[in-house]
Structure 1
């Protein structure tokens, strides 16, 4: 997932999820890394957020 604009709320969510399930931010590649089996959980949560955003527009 490429985040084009900086969204403080999304970053806060990613940090919360990192603390919840484990993960890290890779500054070199500007990406978040979550490990199995939790990466599937994170992807599902992001898809749900996307669906909510699409429906509200």
Structure 2
């Protein structure tokens, strides 16, 4: 299994985010959607801003 595959699996697991003291992107999307409702549309595939994934690298 390649490092890239392992990283993708870790990124999808909220427990791994929590273990590092962070909130998973999915949970953040849920929080924002709950607070903003229809005003918020998640566009994580075309995000121009930095995301947790930009800083989450294999050791």
TM-score, length basis structure 2: 0.33
Instruction: Give the structure with the larger helix fraction.
Output: 2
The structure whose Rg is larger is 2
Higher strand share goes to which structure? Answer: 1
Which structure exhibits the higher relative contact order, with contacts defined as CA atoms closer than 8 Å and separated by 6 or more residues?
2
